[in-house]
Amino acid sequence: MIPVILSGGSGSRLWPLSRKLYPKQFLALAGEHSLFQQTLQRLGGEGVERPIIVCNQEHRFIINEQLDAIGVSAQGMLMEPFGRNTAPAVALAALQLLAEGRDELLLVLPADHLISDEAALRQALAVGRAAAEEGEMVLFGIPAERPETGFGYIKAARHEDTAALIHGAYRVEQFIEKPDIARASEFVRSGDYYWNSGMFLFRASRYLEELRTYEADIYDTCALALAHSQVEHQVTHIDAKTFECCPDNSIDYAVMEKTSRACVVPLSAGWSDVGSWSSLWDVGARDANGNVLKGDVLVENSHNCYVHGNSKLVTLLGMDDVVVVETKDAVMIARKDCAQDVKQLVASLDAAGRQETRKHCQVYRPWGEYDSVAAGSRHQVKHLTVKPGAQLSLQRHHHRAEHWIVVSGTALVTCDDKTFLLTENQSTYIPIASVHRLANPGKIPLEIIEVQSGSYLGEDDIERFEDVYGRNVHAAP
């Protein structure tokens, strides 16, 4: 059984903490490790192979760092140039495996869910495996314990109907879109309905057979895109020109709602899709007044609130049932019952061209990270941290000059035809149009204060000549 980890989402409902370049699956929202890392850590059972990860090209280096941090290696990574939903993502993984002569069971998992009872998960996987080995299309359903209007529902055959049992799984009778509160309440009372978890288990060939039957365009486009893709080591870069033509569709709509082989395995394992700030309040540790507090936070006379501070003190007085999330460049305040609508805020910010939905002040790069400290019309100050042995690309800028000051560590600087070392409290000036590079030859992180000045300070003002990370010219440095 091979886990196929789907890690392409943007997590817009958890803005401003989740951003397109660093979405929620890579955040440690509940525990020491990120949601992505927790997903991998709970898959160490017998018969489970190393995962295949399907992700956005922009997240490749974040994923590598998070894998290294927990000592997990992937057997393959499929890099999508852009998202086309879950049906194409899984098709790419299945097609690649079959091309290698491997018709394995695929355990399809979102990278951004929480599961607290791993023993219950293993039991459900065993039931699902038995059904999938018989050619069934298994999905894992969460017993509907409260009338949720934010989830899709699955109606299963009645539990007393033994003819509907498939190795402990129940035949799916109906898929229901997100219901209103009245219908959701009826579903809970019935006991025959489950929340759709977005977790699936099926054989690779079975999935492709069903996909080809019901959504041949997705099958054909994915096969063609994979044939034109570039492979380096275990990383497959999906051909953008072909993949752009692929229909955007989910596994549910493309296959599961159409096949006659769909069955559901009940999963009672403390599951949460962490789909909104209110869901984090649901799973968080609450104080005596029902508040979940993260960071440097002080609340008085407030109840049932979720407050998340990151860079400064956050205080709350006389508030009930609200969500407050603070980051260095944005603050979001909402009633808790409106938390699902944060996505609309993000859409409005995107329409206005705001960068706050795309990246944090702290931006991660394969060589390290930088933090935007201050900015004006003709200047910008950044704090750069370069990992030991890492280096930025050899590049030049046409509209800005840079001044580098070493805070700690040792810097190896290339500026035109000169190469030299700088140590703590030393500095250098990089004129406009000079070909330059910054590297860390030492064994500790290199910290630099970079002061940029010029008529244009955008990240696209770069001409790249060399890059050890295989990034293209004109990409961010």
> What pLDDT is stored for residue 166 in this prediction?
79
> What pLDDT is stored for residue 168 in this prediction?
82
Amino acid at 354: R
Q: What CA–CA distance (Å, rounded) separates 350 from 120? A: 40
Q: What CA–CA distance (Å, rounded) separates 35 from 33? A: 7
Q: What CA–CA distance (Å, rounded) separates 57 from 78? A: 9
The tens digit of pLDDT for each residue in 95-141 reads 999 999 999 999 999 999 999 999 999 999 999 999 999 999 999 99
> What pLDDT is stored for residue 164 in this prediction?
59
Nearest to 237 by CA among 54, 364, 91, 72: 54
- Which is it for strands 76-80 and 235-237: parallel, antiparallel or unpaired? parallel
Nearest to 262 by CA among 218, 191, 206: 206
Residue 468 burial (CB count, 10 A)? 13
Return the exposure string of 195-208: e unless at least 16 CB atoms fall within 10 Å of the residue's CB, then b. Answer: bbbbbbbbbbebbb
**What residues does each domain of the chain span?**
2-272, 286-345, 362-466
Nearest to 9 by CA among 27, 31, 32: 27
Answer yes or no: are the C-beta atoms of 337 and 321 closer than 8 Å. Answer: yes
Q: Quick check: helix, strand or coil at residue 12?
A: helix
- The percent helix, strand, coil of the chain (3-state, each to 5) is 25, 35, 40
The tens digit of pLDDT for each residue in 373-432 reads 888 989 999 999 999 999 999 999 999 999 999 999 999 999 999 999 999 999 999 999
Fold: same for 2-272 and 362-466: no
Amino acid at 66: Q
Q: Residues in the chain with pLDDT < 70?
A: 159-165, 472-477
- Kindly tell me the burial class for residue 269, based on how many C-beta atoms sit within 10 Å of its own C-beta (0-12, 13-18, 19 or more): buried
Class of domain 362-466: mainly beta
Q: Is the dihedral of CA 94, 98, 100, 102 positive or negative?
A: positive
Q: What is the DSSP string of 319-367?
A: -BSEEEEE-SS-EEEEEGGGGGGHHHHHHHHHHTT-GGGT--SEEEETT
- Report CA-CA distances (Å) from 225 to 52, 94, 243, 255: 18, 13, 6, 20
In sequence order, what E strands does 191-291 have? 193-203, 230-232, 235-237, 262-266, 271-272
The tens digit of pLDDT for each residue in 23-42 reads 999 999 988 999 999 999 99
Residue 344 burial (CB count, 10 A)? 12
Answer yes or no: are the C-beta atoms of 307 and 319 closer than 8 Å. Answer: no
Q: Quick check: helix, strand or coil at residue 252?
A: helix
> What pLDDT is stored for residue 275 in this prediction?
87
CATH number of 2-272: 3.90.550.10
> What pLDDT is stored for residue 47 in this prediction?
85
> What pLDDT is stored for residue 163 in this prediction?
53
> What pLDDT is stored for residue 31 in this prediction?
87
